[in-house]
Structure 1
Amino acid sequence: MFPLGSPIPGLVWAYRIKPGSRGERLSPECRMADVMTGDGFVWIHLNLAGGRVAGFLEQFPGLTPAAIAALTTHDTHAALAVDEKLIFGTLIDFQREFDAATRDIGWLHFGLSDTFIITTRLQPIRSVDKVRAAVEKNTSRYAAPLQIFEVLVAEFQRGMIAVVLELTEELNQIEDHVYGSEMRDERRRLTPIRRLIVRLHRHLRTMLLIMRRAAATDDDEMPDGVEDSLARLAGRLETVDQDVSALADRARLLHEELDSKQSAETNRHLYILSLMTALLLPPSLVTGFFGMNTTALPFSDGAHGTLSAFGFILISIFLSWLILRRTGIL
């Protein structure tokens, strides 16, 4: 059992936010009593690398076993549920390094009620840092934990838009090379882009589905304002998902164009090789004939036998070329 007098394990930050006034950032050494006493609501952000986080959440008042499981899971898929006036689940996001955001998929676990919002993660998450900076800049605009949750999803949408713009620019560059006069194989650049787009599209569709399903939950369990909030967020994500879907179609068409150009180039090489084979086959027969170690070969006794055989080779090449021209192959 987690000692109530011990500092909160895995604490990244904690804020007490009072509507209409400036919020307060709690001490890194704050305890359960510091979080649970006072007006307004609290936002607690935890690092799941801390081994005692699960024990702390089990002692946190207001959390159900299902919400605790959602906050401590290491599952890598989006989820959202409403139960006993609690909203909890997992959101997709982008991981963040010390100096910049990345395109690596990250997972933000959350649980919220009217008096708190708890978020947990394993790796630093881009949207959380953005929202924290916004909270510190203007705390008074956040009147409830649901607004923090809505801003987290909205910030993820902004991050998705930025990634879509970057991927669009990369596809523009690949497209210029694909449809250019110079033959270049851009599949090495295109393949990871297609893989990222497919992953983003898959996770976005999952988030849309779970938000719509949560919005259809029994009204007795739905906290006030959640249905409207989920509808707004689903509309935001639907717009981004359309952009990602358009990128997926564009990347697929580019890949098909690359395959088509590669097939055409391969066919051209095979055509040239076939022509060379057709032109050289009769001379090969001539040289094979005169190369037999048998008696009474033509020109074997004359002074210009080799020159005569060479003349036959040229004649056979000319005849082969003439036949190919007459048949329309050349």
Structure 2
Amino acid sequence: MPAEITQQLNFNDEVTGLIYGYVFEPDTAARRIPSREVLNEFQSIEPGRGFIWLHVNLNHATAEKWLKKHFAMADFFFEEIRQGSRSTRIERQGEVLFAVLNDVIFRPEGGGEDAATLWLYCRPQLVVTARHKPVRLIENLFRKLDQLMPASPTALLVDLLEEQEDVLEQIVRQANLYVDAIEERLLSHHIKNNRTALGRLRRLLLRYQRLLAPEPAALFRLMSRPPAWLETVVVQDIRHFAEEFTVVLNDLVGLTERIRLLQEEIAAKQMEQNNRTLFQLTIITVLALPINIVAGFFGMNVGGIPFANNRHGFLLLVLIVTGFTLITAYWALRRRDND
């Protein structure tokens, strides 16, 4: 039987919704385990001598029941998931660490849902991550497990926080390149398109900022009153993460302000162009005014029309209209120069 079919059959046998299951032990590489071995491995871990990481697909009907039955997970975790809470935060719930992390794909041109949420439950000897849609944070961490070798559940949490920070850094970098390209086109004839693109990008960055920026109040409470089992070095790592994330957020705010200034500049250029077009139309209307007035008078079907019996009447009339038109043009252009 081909390898791909075998893997698919094994995946279908995974009735718990488990995607990844890993055992982490001191001075040992991470070891992947199937769901049928998870419970035995979890019960055999000695306190302070390792932990288990479970990554679960919440779309699986039995995932919640399996976690509650075998790992006594608190109800608040699943209530938060059902409420659809998506704002990034790390907080303490009793002696448990609860985190919500988000992953987004930068699509400045729009189209399609671009965000995925990861919920994390962390206590001594156990880390559970759950998602509805694939999350790049987990896939990136999965590829680095051999190099990272986290020594505790909170160390794995810190690694995930660093992945979230990398996601926001990439977004800021890509958005800067996108804005640079618009600045290069600023003097072109596509002002309207540039303004629309900048508006869409600004709304997108504000949404990313809302999704990816951790709630400061929850983070402050965690750092001021961490659980008793949380190592001091991990609290320092979380504080360091908060400082680095603040720097990235400042870059994002600066980029948003830069986009706003570009929007104002484009709006000013567009207004100037509209004013120039309106002035040109006004000039044309003013220049056509003398001939319209004269034509209206001479079109009256009454007696006493001047030059009616003069064989040079038409030429005289053209000269009069031309003179009035030149005077009107001089007055209008002089007013423009004075303005």
Residue 100 (structure 2) pairs with residue 93 (structure 1): no
CA distance in 2, matches of 1:150, 1:103: 27
Residue 19 (structure 2) pairs with residue 12 (structure 1): yes
Q: Which aligned pairs between 1:292-307 and structure 2 lie closer than 5 A? A: 292-307=300-315
Correspondence for 2:6: none
Correspondence for 1:111: 121
Stretch deviating more after TM superposition (119-128 or 79-88): 79-88
* Shift, 1:156, TM fit: 1.5
CA distance in 2, matches of 1:211, 1:54: 27
Give the counterpart letter for 1:138 in structure 2. Answer: Q
- Aligned 8 A contact 1:48 1:72 in 2: no
Report the CA distance shift for 1:272/1:86 in structure 2 as closer, same or farther (over 3 A).
same
Residue 132 (structure 2) pairs with residue 122 (structure 1): yes
CA distance in 2, matches of 1:7, 1:168: 43
* Shift, 1:287, TM fit: 1.3
Residue 252 (structure 2) pairs with residue 240 (structure 1): no
Give the counterpart letter for 1:294 in structure 2. Answer: V
Residue 142 (structure 2) pairs with residue 132 (structure 1): yes
- Aligned 8 A contact 2:101 2:212 in 1: no
Report the CA distance shift for 1:150/1:109 in structure 2 as closer, same or farther (over 3 A).
same
Correspondence for 1:3: none
Report the CA distance shift for 1:329/1:288 in structure 2 as closer, same or farther (over 3 A).
farther
CA distance in 1, matches of 2:332, 2:78: 78
* Shift, 1:143, TM fit: 0.5
Correspondence for 1:281: 289
* Shift, 1:299, TM fit: 2.5
Paired residue secondary structure (2:98) = strand
CA distance in 2, matches of 1:173, 1:207: 33
CA distance in 2, matches of 1:269, 1:227: 62
CA distance in 1, matches of 2:199, 2:153: 40
1:37 aligns with one of 32, 39, 43: 43
Residue 204 (structure 2) pairs with residue 230 (structure 1): no
CA deviations on 1:131-174 (whole Å, 9 max, x unpaired) are 11111x236x3100111110011011112212211111111111
Correspondence for 1:99: none
Paired residue secondary structure (2:304) = coil
CA distance in 1, matches of 2:166, 2:177: 17
Paired residue secondary structure (1:37) = helix
Give the counterpart letter for 1:9 in structure 2. Answer: T
- Aligned 8 A contact 2:17 2:63 in 1: yes
Higher relative contact order (CA 8 A, sep 6+): 2
CA distance in 1, matches of 2:222, 2:120: 15
Query: RMSD value over aligned CA atoms?
Result: 2.6
CA deviations on 1:81-118 (whole Å, 9 max, x unpaired) are 2123210131122259xxxxx99222111101111111
Consecutive unaligned residues in structure 1, runs of 5 or more: 1-5, 97-101
Report the CA distance shift for 1:72/1:117 in structure 2 as closer, same or farther (over 3 A).
farther
Give the counterpart letter for 2:285 in structure 1. Answer: T
* Shift, 1:255, TM fit: 0.7
Q: Which structure has the highest helix share of the two?
A: 2
CA distance in 2, matches of 1:38, 1:283: 102
Report the CA distance shift for 1:213/1:309 in structure 2 as closer, same or farther (over 3 A).
farther
Correspondence for 1:50: 60
Q: Which aligned pairs between 1:118-197 and structure 2 lie closer than 5 A? A: 118-135=128-145, 137-138=146-147, 141-178=149-186, 180=187, 182-185=188-191, 186-197=194-205
Q: Which runs of 4+ in 1 moved over 6 A?
A: none
Stretch deviating more after TM superposition (119-128 or 194-203): 194-203
CA distance in 1, matches of 2:23, 2:212: 31
Identity %: 23
Correspondence for 1:66: 76
CA distance in 1, matches of 2:161, 2:68: 26
Residue 36 (structure 2) pairs with residue 26 (structure 1): no
Report the CA distance shift for 1:325/1:252 in structure 2 as closer, same or farther (over 3 A).
closer
Report the CA distance shift for 1:15/1:303 in structure 2 as closer, same or farther (over 3 A).
same
Paired residue secondary structure (1:183) = coil
Stretch deviating more after TM superposition (114-123 or 191-200): 191-200
Q: TM-score, normalised by structure 1?
A: 0.85
2:265 aligns with one of 247, 254, 257: 257
Residues paired across the two proteins, number: 314
* Shift, 1:9, TM fit: 2.2
Report the CA distance shift for 1:295/1:309 in structure 2 as closer, same or farther (over 3 A).
same
Paired residue secondary structure (2:16) = coil
Give the counterpart letter for 1:308 in structure 2. Answer: L
Report the CA distance shift for 1:240/1:208 in structure 2 as closer, same or farther (over 3 A).
farther
CA distance in 2, matches of 1:256, 1:222: 52
Consecutive unaligned residues in structure 2, runs of 5 or more: 1-12, 107-111
Give the counterpart letter for 1:236 in structure 2. Answer: E
